[in-house]
Structure 1
């Protein structure tokens, strides 16, 4: 066996956390945004998704690196540096963000059940909540790797469900190539691009990844993460494995998002009513056939189930890190499900609810990524693993672009221009 083979066999058990975080990048909100972009503008905004995926890789790597080097999650490190009132205030905004995330994901899953079986949205939301509780039961009791395996399986279903249509309606090579050139077509295309990029980085995924890498169990053949911090060589191997994990996981998520845009550009361009998930499903079924529409709905269902489970997990880690309170995951899942079910039961328009949830997320993003960039740049926190000057500049530029675009989205929404 070669040294390279040995390295790969050693790294494989360390992979997994990034796939859990990557689910945030293929949630129902992303589906609606990317379908809208492709249907309205064809291949014009492919470059936006490519850039946003690179941004996501950098941010998720910094979150994971922070967790591995310090042995603490981002919420825990922030909690240690805040006064009690500050911790409570920060926790409240993070909880609002988690609730907004949950709202979009439960609605997306409920829509999928409605499209597949004609179930009322409220009952669909209840079913999504119950199944997600089952997934969270798997996560508890030191069964982190089993939970990761289920999430990876759901991610595979999401990928197949959303990309199957490309077999029936392959994109234009020339169109894809032209979409790599950064440009816009009018003010509305800027708004759509801002939605795609601004909604890419989910605050709960940033908080969670720093915790996932420490919860992940590498197995008996490898030392624990806490031991690894006393071994320079092993920590270097963990960081290398984390980079590979992120490349693969977010590479898949990026492929799904770009694939959705390409599918819409190839099959739905110019059609009206495709700026909602229901409208997109109807258009896909009418244009590509009911089988492709069903497979798409199955992908949407997997997206809702996976992302709502991960969202509840993230909320638990945020509360634990900031308030040092550990609420059982199932109790938390039940409480966070209530607002989504109330909105579904009240008959609120699903697309409007998704828009409101995205605005709430926009407010929460700066609170996650700016502290992340700051902490990973400090030698007193990261030691020799503090960000290099180039990475610091790159990180803060990414943070500035994402924050500016999210503030722009909030402004357009509040002024009625979005």
Structure 2
């Protein structure tokens, strides 16, 4: 397995800060527990609450299966994220930077930042709503006050990673305990809950909520976060140490994500057992849920526990969002700014849309904004999941730790489900926008649709590029290796008939000089050029257009210059496809060497301009000298 070097370690201030290498038994397990809990709080943040409450109040228990499916997806994807960080000691953003070009990485960074901003929007609104419910603070004040919690992470980080993890686990315990009591008070119907695990989607609105649930559960920034947090552990070097780290981190993920599943299921079940059962099908505001819980469950503790859990969820999520933002910026751009500034920028990006919605539309629209933020998260998922699968499937980088075929198949199925649902949602939403816009539909055609097409192109590119590269590498690897032979150095190798392809560009000078260096003045040279105009493709040598005459004159110019210096030179013009014409002219000339100029095109340019050099060298049976500047 090859060694990879990068400019700095992921989360360098806490990298390898917890020693798990010298511990045994349950102490070793405890040493690895922690990273998945920081990840799990993203699975129970206020955005989840909004989608779970909306799903439970409108459709009862029928979307429980979506939560279960999302949790299984999350467990597999988070385990892949942890494996990447453990084996390659790179987070997902760093691995992407090493695999894709700078423009592609910049686009992926922008999308990751959008996902983090959407997540932070949910945290801002959740914290503000929690403060309003518990203390009567106006929502707009609560949103403004959330700027101050940017200092919390800085304080916690000064005490080390273990203190951050302990703080988060305590908040998770508060959330889980609150909803356990809420579940006992609600007394849900167990048979109806069981039927909720049978897959069904009542209508398109249920699809929108289901995608929001997936986006709220399988969160893209958590994939970046987990691949970095697992690197805070130091474990024994070597194969056994890495396998041990993978195993314990999977256990950590299973425990933490099942706790998150319980919280999400409890919120949806609570909404179904109270609001849906009472016919309150339009409850999607967290404030309404808080207000209705006490009279419906017969105790003021119901609302109080709900509010406390909401504040705990918002505060815990804000910490992990900060860390994810740092990981994404450093990984994709290799750029590090002060943590307080990074947090402040992220929070301000989230506060602006929250304040605008509250000021323009009022507090009653915050629930819809929360659900929208989770749908935005879901739309970003493909851009994180697909590279993650590729990196874990790359045997040259992962070595013996590469994922098994059945895991790869399951991961791709998850990716296709998520991307497929998102494509359906985007098409449905844009169609509705076009209908509503009427005569102003041209605005959507000039803005939203090009963005969607560009995003689709980027998604296709990051999907197929590693597949093409891996296939080429596997093809080369299948070529059998020979053995050393006795070298015959008794005779000079001379070329007497040299064909030279020219295209009348700056590289011609280097191509001709390289050719005459091989044969000197004793060899005979044939200067070749192929006319590729549309007319030449159709009429061949019968074409008599301006470009053909100009190309003949240019070849004659080269010939005359070389003859004046004592070289034996002829010229030959071909018409049509150069990949077909050049081999034919080389064969006719009976050349024993072909010299070609190359421009170093890569991927996209090859798709546009074609790969003439690569094709020609496989179609001629003489040595080919490729000249590149």
The residue aligned with 2:315 is: 305
Aligned match of 1:393? 409
Query: Which residue pairs with 2:245 in the alignment?
Result: 238
- Alignment partner of 2:400 out of 384, 398, 406: 384
Tell me, yes or no, if the aligned pair for 2:57 and 2:282 is still in contact at 8 Å.
no
Quick check: which has more Rg, 1 or 2? Answer: 2
- The alpha carbon displacement at 1:131 in A equals 2.6
Are positions 1:48 and 2:43 aligned together?
no
Higher helix share: 1
Partner residue of 1:322 out of 319, 332, 351: 332
CA distance in 1, matches of 2:380, 2:93: 13
Aligned to 1:156: 173
**Equivalence for 1:332:** 342
Q: Is the 8 A contact 1:161 1:297 kept in 2?
A: no
- Give the CA deviation at 1:109: 0.9
* 1:171 alignment counterpart: 188
Q: Following the alignment from structure 1 to structure 2, what is the Cα–Cα distance between the partners of residues 29 and 123? A: 20
Decide whether the 8 Å contact of 2:91 with 2:331 is kept in 1. yes
- What displacement does 1:405 show? 1.9
**Which residue in the other structure is 2:388 paired with?**
372
Offset at residue 279 of structure 1 (A): 1.8
Q: Which has the higher mean CA deviation after the structures are superposed, 272-281 or 371-380?
A: 272-281
Distance 2:49 2:300 in 1: 19
**Out of 213, 220, 239, which is 1:196 matched to?**
213
1:53-64 to 2 correspondence within 5 Å? 53-64=71-82
- 2:379 aligns with 363
* Corresponding position: 1:276 with 2:285: yes
CA RMSD, Structure 1 to Structure 2 (Å): 2.0
Contact 1:163 1:259 in 2 (8 A): yes
* Conservation of the 8 A alpha-carbon contact between 1:62 and 1:376: yes
Give the Cα separation in 1 of the matches to 2:191 and 2:336.
Answer: 53
Q: Normalising by structure 1, report the TM-score.
A: 0.91
Q: Within the alignment, does 1:342 sit opposite 2:337 as a pair?
A: no
User: Alpha-carbon deviation of 1:415?
Assistant: 4.1
Q: In the alignment, is the contact (CA less than 8 A) between 2:215 and 2:375 conserved in 1?
A: no
Q: Please say if 1:123 is aligned against 2:144.
A: no
Which one has the bigger strand percentage?
2
> CA–CA distance in 2 between the matches of 1:257 and 1:357?
17
- Which piece of structure 1 moves more, 407-416 or 283-292? 407-416
Q: CA 1:47 to 1:206, structure 2 compared with 1: closer, same or farther past 3 Å? A: same
Within a 5 Å distance, the mapping from 1:17-56 to structure 2 comes to 17-56=35-74
**Partner Cα separation in structure 2 for residue 63 and residue 256 of structure 1:** 23
**Contact 1:33–1:195 at 8 Å: present in 2 too?**
yes
CA displacement at 1:6 relative to structure 2: 4.5
d(CA) in 1 for partners of 2:51, 2:347: 24
1:351 equivalent in structure 2: 367
Residue aligning to 1:258 = 265
In structure 2, C-alpha distance between the alignment counterparts of 1:105 and 1:416, rounded to whole Å: 29
> TM-score scaled to structure 2, two decimals?
0.61
Deviations 1:20-67 (A, max 9, x none): 011111011111111122112222222111111111000000000000
Check 1:414–1:300 CA distance in 2 against 1; reply closer, same or farther (3 A cut): farther
For 2:422, the equivalent position in structure 1 comes to 406
What CA deviation, in whole Å up to 9, does each residue of 1:44-99 have, x standing for no partner? 22211111111100000000000000011010011112222222222122112211
- Which structure has the higher relative contact order (CA within 8 Å, separation 6+)? 1
| Residue 248 of structure 1: how far off its partner (Å) | 0.6
Deviation at 1:196, TM superposition (A): 1.8
Q: Distance in 2 between matches of 1:324 and 1:91?
A: 11
Comparing 152-161 with 404-413, greater Cα deviation is found at 404-413
Instruction: Please list every run of 5 or more consecutive structure 2 residues that lacks an aligned counterpart in the other structure.
Output: 1-22, 434-629
Maintained 8 Å contact 2:174/2:312: yes
Displacement after TM superposition at 1:136 (Å): 3.8
Instruction: Identify the residue that residue 70 of structure 1 maps to in structure 2.
Output: 88
Counterparts of 2:314 and 2:185, CA distance in 1 = 25
